[in-house]
Structure 1
């Protein structure tokens, strides 16, 4: 999309029929996102339009549109037939370039969240130099196009009001800084905490999660210990304190210099934070299996032929590990989402993709046995994984034994879920003689997982999918299948409904 004049010269008109508000954008009444005719649009109030015009007239706007740090945006001319339940009277509509696949911070490995934080701080620093600020500091305002972070909340830019401090400081701490600190200092994964609280980690809670020696660290003392202490002492006087600060910061130049200094200090703190996956993850950053070279070559060729049969819009690589097969699929698809439950290999994959400048593969931390649910108000602010874009092709390689044996998900249940996604499938079945399967079963009581048998798997796979190709690898313990989903008629629907209590 080419950015256009903020006046809307030459911009196209939206199809406002069947316009639908985004369930996660209601928190800012000046700027609401909605969808119409397959496009992502934003309606602005009068004040929101004034702020956007101020942003669009700056060199920062042109610069970030060119380098992709801010989502491509254009004005829409003919929007007055718009009929949406808005809090404020609409004054203008913007059109945004679509993100290939929406992801959330509780699905990002450490370096993705850190890069999103540095993008937010960098934009704020540049905005202050233009007399602007960012009213929000939320990682939900950032989306990744492959390995490139992109700021998508254009409505967050606003004119810097006299006397204002960094109003989004607390939000930045709760949603960016504290999760990063927990992972860097305590090696505590932040993903479950962010998934459990859409507003992030409260300062008082953060302080209680850190031992005394960490609370006294440089930066941590200011942003955690002191922050929590001030919150506990002055929570009931927040408005009074803010009014006092506003009176003291009426000098615009002093105000800007103080804000810039605070942002620079936060940038340095975030830049210093480091996390390395456990050594075992580095050693195993490759396929965690016992393939022979011949097996590997045949498997790669099988995936290449299946993925290359036709161009795909979206591919999911489930249990992606080092992204070997995601890269193969990316040669034949517009976009690939690479998922793994283990943050370590996803972290390493992201670093490699970032180094390469790869924008067609999005790596995410997702446990398929406990995937990202709907969150927020009415469970609709953040969408479940499968509501953000259905794949045309799913790769499920070296995966089913982990789902069925480790997570105790019945094989039929897993196949039914794969079928419900609606895409074609490349799946690998390691038999009970496979070394990895034997290892997983060794910790289980004898007689468990009777459904994990090759013959039964093939029978149940055939109920959901039409198998086009089957290949047994030379090692004799792994079989590959390329398949198409059977029609979504009444019988297939019955299979899904009955899968939970079926005995096969």
Structure 2
């Protein structure tokens, strides 16, 4: 068997890349590729000649991409024959895939602004983005990177921006929901990955909200036009073409959209968890010893991927980043992650990806056949997991069983630092006040028994407060 045939047989299309008939992502080993139709190849050649592409690839705003001729795409799954692809692009691989329903407000806004900036640059080169979904953006640390090169297509005169509705549904409306109504957008995007329809969103706004920036044009009028088009059996796209929706009008609309998005803001007064690092006396007492312990574990190896679960403001994520190629910092508190995202941006930190994740209700498989968007644990196995001041919240507040939780840690990663907080700790006593059953299975004795059934304990440390212990463990 030739090397080319072997490569072809080992390649698999990404289950999340199928909606675009002219461009489809596939993987071969650790490589990430995109198969192009003849039409998409011609668009790639136009894009390659565009003045903005090289600069945006160098700065990381667009994923680094090159045309390759030695990597064949997968064969047709049913017939085993060639699928008629004309060319293949190779993309730089991503350290970790995240989804918009795991982002904080600032991340979604930056993804939206990147879309609009690239759209403006494309229009100047007689190109346009045919899609406008945040799933076309990934983050390297806190830097957004556009990944769907197949979305750039030739723009024909009088052709409207067909991605406008998608932009509104998946980016503008969720941002407005957070900024204008103070409602977290993540459950809305997770519940419907195509976003919030104009007719639905307008019902969520008060008459007073109609006076806010961008609402009348992009929500109220948009919903009215779509409603009329549906009643008359016409497409919005056809109506725009007949109205002479040319390039200059698109650019004017995009400029106004950009001003609207850039001025959207969200500010919380704070939460119990976002202030936890600053106000908790046990945390202050134990901080030096805990940082030293975590630092020694981190320095003991080189880590491709580390997870910091219940990261709070990222103290231990930053320690992990000293020796990890990439750190995913997760916390269920949206405002905490928003603050961390802003701080990391100010620091110029590129190795830490902050995400809004509740481990007790982590992102499942979504979309077509539950495979279009992968669940959290199927997006990369971490070499190192930090679970500091987390276990007691998951067991007592979320009512998870201790043994099942530790089994999840055993299956999830290669090495873990887990903090156990005793029942006498003020934080645990506060949580137990809300439990009528007393949560009797939550004890140091039961924790160690369940832990040693599943892990080899490499080292432990009792923290100065006397109610907390760190365990450095490796799965058996």
Q: TM tier, shorter chain?
A: over 0.9
Q: Residues 450-469 of structure 1 correspond to what in structure 2 (within 5 A)? A: 450-469=440-459
Structure 2 residue 247 is matched with structure 1 residue 256: yes
Residue aligning to 1:320:
311
Distance 1:128 1:437 in 2: 57
Cα offset, 1:79, TM superposition = 3.9
Structure 2 residue 213 is matched with structure 1 residue 218: yes
TM-score (ref. length: structure 2): 0.95
Moved more, 44-53 or 273-282: 273-282
Tell me if structure 2 keeps the 8 A contact 1:30–1:88: no
Instruction: Rate the CA distance shift 1:240–1:38 in 2: closer, same or farther, 3 A.
Output: closer
Cα offset, 1:215, TM superposition = 2.4
Tell me if structure 1 keeps the 8 A contact 2:74–2:82: no
SS at match of 1:198: coil
Structure 2 residue 423 is matched with structure 1 residue 406: no
Instruction: Rate the CA distance shift 1:43–1:236 in 2: closer, same or farther, 3 A.
Output: farther
Deviations 1:18-47 (A, max 9, x none): 111111111100000011122110000010
Distance 1:243 1:439 in 2: 60
Residue aligning to 2:160:
165
Residue aligning to 2:202:
207
Query: Of the candidates 231, 235, 260, which is equivalent to residue 230 of structure 2?
Result: 235
Structure 2 residue 474 is matched with structure 1 residue 479: no
Distance 1:444 1:87 in 2: 61
Query: Of the candidates 9, 13, 20, which is equivalent to residue 21 of structure 1?
Result: 13
Distance 2:328 2:288 in 1: 23
Instruction: Rate the CA distance shift 1:123–1:387 in 2: closer, same or farther, 3 A.
Output: same
Instruction: Rate the CA distance shift 1:44–1:81 in 2: closer, same or farther, 3 A.
Output: closer
Residue aligning to 2:23:
31
Cα RMSD between the aligned structures? 2.0
Unpaired stretches in structure 1, ≥5 consecutive residues: 1-11, 487-504
Cα offset, 1:289, TM superposition = 3.4
Structure 2 residue 182 is matched with structure 1 residue 175: no
Structure 2 residue 88 is matched with structure 1 residue 93: yes
Tell me if structure 1 keeps the 8 A contact 2:73–2:88: no
Tell me if structure 1 keeps the 8 A contact 2:385–2:413: no
Structure 2 residue 375 is matched with structure 1 residue 375: no
Residue aligning to 1:489:
none
Distance 1:389 1:33 in 2: 18
Residue aligning to 1:350:
341
Residue aligning to 2:412:
421
Distance 2:265 2:194 in 1: 24
Cα offset, 1:398, TM superposition = 0.4
SS at match of 1:481: strand
Query: Of the candidates 269, 275, 300, which is equivalent to residue 284 of structure 1?
Result: 275
Deviations 1:146-182 (A, max 9, x none): 0100000000001102211111000000000000000
Deviations 1:185-218 (A, max 9, x none): 1100010110000100011110111111112333
TM-score (ref. length: structure 1): 0.90
Tell me if structure 2 keeps the 8 A contact 1:29–1:87: no
Distance 1:222 1:150 in 2: 29
Instruction: Rate the CA distance shift 1:87–1:261 in 2: closer, same or farther, 3 A.
Output: farther
Distance 2:404 2:161 in 1: 49
Tell me if structure 2 keeps the 8 A contact 1:314–1:334: yes
Cα offset, 1:226, TM superposition = 1.3
Instruction: Rate the CA distance shift 1:80–1:452 in 2: closer, same or farther, 3 A.
Output: closer
Distance 2:302 2:267 in 1: 36
Moved more, 132-141 or 209-218: 209-218
Tell me if structure 1 keeps the 8 A contact 2:14–2:27: yes
SS at match of 2:360: coil
Cα offset, 1:246, TM superposition = 2.2
Cα offset, 1:443, TM superposition = 1.6
SS at match of 1:212: coil
Cα offset, 1:82, TM superposition = 4.4
Structure 2 residue 151 is matched with structure 1 residue 156: yes
